[in-house]
Amino acid sequence: MQDSGPCEDEKSESISGDSTEKMNFKKLGLLSVSAFAILVSTFVLVTFAQVWYQSTRNEVRSVDAIVVLGAAQWDGIPSPVLKARLDHALDLHMEEVAPFIVTTGSKQRGDRFTEAYAGLTYLLDRGIPENAIIVVVDGFNTYQSLSATSSALQRAGVGNKVLLVSDPYHALRAKEIAREVGLNPLFSPTNLDSSFSQLVRETVGTSIGRVIGFRRASTLSE
At 91 the pLDDT is 97
Cβ distance 179 to 201 under 8 Å?
Answer: no
As a whole number, the mean pLDDT across the chain is 90
Q: Which residues of 42-64 are buried (b: 16+ CB within 10 A; e: fewer)?
A: eeeeebbebbbebbeeeeeeebb
Q: Is 4 left (phi over 0), alpha (psi -120 to 50) or beta?
A: beta
CA 174 to chain centre: 5
Of the candidates 132, 130, 83, 136, which has an alpha carbon nearest to the alpha carbon of residue 107?
A: 136
Q: pLDDT digit string (tens) for 176-212?
A: 999 999 999 999 999 999 999 999 999 999 999 999 9
Exposed, middle or buried: residue 18 (CB in 10 Å: 0-12, 13-18, 19+)? Answer: exposed
At 26 the pLDDT is 75
At 66 the pLDDT is 98
The pLDDT confidence band at residue 33, using thresholds 50, 70 and 90, is: confident
Dihedral angle over CA of 51, 56, 58, 64, nearest 10:
20
91 has which bridge partners? none
pLDDT at 5 over 80: no
- What is the value of pTM for the model shown? 0.84
The arithmetic mean of pLDDT across residues 76-93, rounded, is 97
pLDDT at 99 over 70: yes
1-222: what fold? Rossmann fold (3.40.50)
The residue with greater pLDDT, 30 or 196, is: 196
DSSP 132: G
Handedness of CA 99, 116, 113, 137 (dihedral sign): positive
Cβ distance 33 to 185 under 8 Å?
Answer: no
Cβ distance 138 to 145 under 8 Å?
Answer: yes
Q: How do the domains of the chain map onto residue ranges?
A: 1-222
Cα-based distances in Å from 111 to 73, 77, 140, 159, 169: 9, 11, 13, 32, 26
Q: pLDDT digit string (tens) for 103-143?
A: 999 988 888 999 999 999 999 999 999 999 999 999 999 99
Cα-based distances in Å from 30 to 25, 41, 42, 73, 93: 9, 16, 18, 51, 57
Q: Output phi, psi for 187, to 5 deg.
A: -140, 135
